[in-house]
Structure 1
Amino acid sequence: MHQPVTLLWAIGRARRGSRRSLPWPDTAEALTALLARHVPPGSRPRPDYPVLALHRAGLWEFDDHTGDVPTAHGDSEIAAWFARHRPAGGLAAPFHDLLRRSGFARVTAVEAILLKYLGDGDGSALLEDTGLHDPAMAEDTDASIAAARAPADPAVTRAAQYERWCALLDDGAAGGGVPRRAVLRHAPLRSAAARRAVLARSGGRCENPACGGAPDDVTDRGAPLLEVDHVLDLARGGPDHPRAMVALCPNCHAVKTRGRTRESLRAVLLDVARSRHDAMGGG
């Protein structure tokens, strides 16, 4: 578990926009504490082993060292090398930059790490400790990503984004009709992807057909003031899937949650979610 914990820690830093490279004492202190909480009992929470292994795999860069590094064998040799060189470094720059900017790359990378090392086990505590647990982790943090993908017709962009996110959530059939499990199996990542899909589908507009007018104001990042809602309450067994979720302005969300007409509105919104899901090729 040493390498996945180290990778998720670095991805969490990228997601938060933290600087890529850290002095070795700072890296060692942070990783030692994290490893102590998440590696199996009896394993030593040493950060030098996973960092060295990731460096040899091309995933970690030492910024101020260009000479040879020890092999991932020999306890005393490795400890002495890190104590002597104290190499500043971090996740390799191309990976750090991609995972900082792209929500899709971030979600799929984290899921791949969890599946490889945890299978279908619960990784929630590790994701929370590394800052990768909240639903907003699937959002892009660089507007240039969306701009670079945008074709002339914005509706095409929305449909493509929606279909791509839904493809991560749905079970289906691979070639020859062989059953295929959804790409995202871990709940925090599924929730983040589902939320991102609904926001893409909405096109920045409240999905309540009777909306009296969403606020004209936007968030600090220029995003519309929309709240993603599970039409069928998640706590009561409702599906965490875009076909049963909608994007609502704060007023409509309040009506759906606390208004006298909430039951009839819930039926309308469920129909809206399903029809829009089908219309946009969500599967």
Structure 2
Amino acid sequence: MGRTDITHTAVLQAIEEFDRLGRDTFLQKYGFRPARSYFLVHEGRHYDSKAIFGAAHGFLPGLAPLRPDNFSGGAQHAARLLRELGFTVVGEDHDPVEAEPLPVLSSLSHDELVRLVSRLKVSRANGAPALHQPITLLWAMGRALRGEDRLLSWSETEAAVRALVERHGVRGERPRVDYPVAALSRAGLWALPAHQDAVPTAHGDAGLRRWFAGNQPVGGLSEPVYERLRRFGETRLAVLEVVLGTYFVGLDCEPLLRDVGLFVEDLGLGEVDPAVVRAAQYELLCARAEGQEAGSRGRRVERIVNNPIRLASARMAVLYRSEGNCEHVHCGGQPNDVTDAGQPILEVDHIVEITRGGRDHPSQMAALCPNCHAVKTRGSTREAMRDVLLASTRERHDRLMGGADAGPGGGDS
């Protein structure tokens, strides 16, 4: 049994089951005796570390819980693995068991983060999900993208998030910041380092308010979450898609995304694994775009200008393919300047508009400099230019995909 078998998320699921069943029933279900040597500490409560670890194994896809006789290294081995996942483990004297410092990102994968975000426990008093937590998370994501301080004083966090909830909380959310921060902390996404084991649950009213007012906790995204969102564009995009697709259905998110610095042009590709060849990275982005396209075809954002949904996945793939250059083969010369974020000044546009049957797919989209974009949009030669762009972008697309088909429906109109 290796360290990578168990995930941070699986342990949290086991803890949740322990709380729901109670200690005696939980231990009986999994066949464990009460712990005597090592206890996992989470939110101020003590848990039998070996039993939690064994149960967590059963929350992994296709795997069964570990029984007591499945452990090769005993309780000490389970305690060490739990520490490596970022949890606090204490001995029978309740003193912390020392552990080696965790390397950045060691305890949270791309998939784990996406799963955590998709399972936020938000209030649904009116049927639709409340937006406190999603707004707080998007604000912190924007800060991570810009490389701003991970941890902030409570007064700064409260002022910034309160203003966003007041502007964008369109489902009757009260401008409370203590609730979403407590909930995100419980979900494993937020850190309050000086109070991590004492954060109250996100319930009640006066007691929660008093705790935050009295402690004024410094906090922000947990370090693994912050680093992954800061460094990897693919993770930022996936998390953004989950947040918008899960909690903001039917809402116009553009004003909020612009406020927090997460609108499409702000996202950036971030780092690319050097082991992933260029074609593989492009194929990955195209696959994500195809999945999103299938789910959003024909849907429209509810707003005054009833524009079809534009997909960040496809736009990112096009920018990646362009390598920062205008994709019109007869471009007269794009500006040498860059945006404030240091990105080339390029517009990603649908060669055939969606209203005329075009697709949200990279094979039918092009990155254009401002001059070429203007010609394509309103120039007298735009129809001829459209034919050229369709052929040239399809050629680049096929070359990067190794000649693979662009997905259901292909790329031809």
Q: State the TM bucket, normalised to the shorter chain.
A: 0.7 to 0.9
CA distance in 2, matches of 1:186, 1:86: 42
Q: Which moved more, 1:195-204 or 1:14-23?
A: 195-204
* CA distance 1:41–1:203, change in 2 (3 Å): closer
Q: Is residue 2:235 matched to residue 1:105?
A: yes
CA distance in 2, matches of 1:17, 1:186: 33
3-state SS of 2:289 partner: coil
3-state SS of 1:170 partner: helix
Q: Is residue 2:382 matched to residue 1:262?
A: yes
Please say if residues 198 and 245 of structure 1, whose CA atoms lie closer than 8 Å, have aligned partners that are also in contact.
yes
CA distance in 2, matches of 1:186, 1:139: 25
Q: Which residue of 2 aligns with 1:82?
A: 212
| 1:133-186, Cα deviation, whole Å (9 max, x unpaired) | 2x2233134xxx23x3355xxxx41x22222112122259xxxxxxx6369x88
3-state SS of 1:270 partner: helix
Letter in 1 for 2:322: S
Which structure has more helix as a fraction of its residues?
1
Give the drift of 1:54.
0.9
* CA distance 1:88–1:206, change in 2 (3 Å): same
| 1:103-153, Cα deviation, whole Å (9 max, x unpaired) | 2111110111222223454433432333222x2233134xxx23x3355xx
Letter in 2 for 1:181: G
CA distance in 1, matches of 2:160, 2:333: 47
Please say if residues 206 and 248 of structure 1, whose CA atoms lie closer than 8 Å, have aligned partners that are also in contact.
yes
CA distance in 2, matches of 1:74, 1:254: 55
Q: Which residue of 1 aligns with 2:327?
A: 207
| 1:6-53, Cα deviation, whole Å (9 max, x unpaired) | 111211222233211111011111212222233355542211011011
Q: Which residue of 2 aligns with 1:247?
A: 367
3-state SS of 1:169 partner: helix
* CA distance 1:214–1:42, change in 2 (3 Å): closer
Please say if residues 190 and 221 of structure 2, whose CA atoms lie closer than 8 Å, have aligned partners that are also in contact.
yes
Letter in 1 for 2:362: P
3-state SS of 2:176 partner: coil
Q: Which residue of 1 aligns with 2:99?
A: none
Given candidates 348, 361, 372, the residue that maps to 1:228 is 348
* CA distance 1:211–1:92, change in 2 (3 Å): same
CA distance in 2, matches of 1:10, 1:194: 24
Give the gaps of 5 or more residues in structure 1. 173-179
3-state SS of 1:149 partner: coil
| 1:56-88, Cα deviation, whole Å (9 max, x unpaired) | 111111133355222333322211111111001
* CA distance 1:45–1:278, change in 2 (3 Å): same
CA distance in 2, matches of 1:251, 1:125: 27
Please say if residues 104 and 138 of structure 1, whose CA atoms lie closer than 8 Å, have aligned partners that are also in contact.
no
TM-score by length of 1: 0.77
TM alignment of 1:6-25, pairs within 5 A: 6-25=136-155
3-state SS of 2:191 partner: strand
Letter in 1 for 2:327: E
Give the drift of 1:277.
2.9
* CA distance 1:162–1:29, change in 2 (3 Å): same
Given candidates 126, 140, 146, the residue that maps to 2:269 is 140
Please say if residues 289 and 311 of structure 2, whose CA atoms lie closer than 8 Å, have aligned partners that are also in contact.
no
Please say if residues 204 and 224 of structure 1, whose CA atoms lie closer than 8 Å, have aligned partners that are also in contact.
yes
* CA distance 1:9–1:264, change in 2 (3 Å): same
* CA distance 1:198–1:59, change in 2 (3 Å): same
Q: In the comparison of the two structures, how many residue pairs are matched?
A: 264
Q: Is residue 2:298 matched to residue 1:168?
A: no
Please say if residues 140 and 221 of structure 2, whose CA atoms lie closer than 8 Å, have aligned partners that are also in contact.
yes
3-state SS of 2:349 partner: strand
Q: Is residue 2:175 matched to residue 1:45?
A: yes
CA distance in 1, matches of 2:218, 2:365: 45
3-state SS of 1:49 partner: helix
Percent of aligned pairs with the same amino acid = 51
* CA distance 1:115–1:263, change in 2 (3 Å): closer
Which structure would you say has the larger RCO, counting Cα contacts within 8 Å and 6 or more residues apart? 1
Letter in 2 for 1:23: S
CA distance in 1, matches of 2:371, 2:249: 41
* CA distance 1:34–1:259, change in 2 (3 Å): closer
Please say if residues 154 and 218 of structure 2, whose CA atoms lie closer than 8 Å, have aligned partners that are also in contact.
yes
Give the drift of 1:224.
5.4
Give the gaps of 5 or more residues in structure 2. 1-129, 302-307, 408-413
CA distance in 2, matches of 1:236, 1:18: 42
Q: Which residue of 1 aligns with 2:316?
A: 196
3-state SS of 1:51 partner: helix
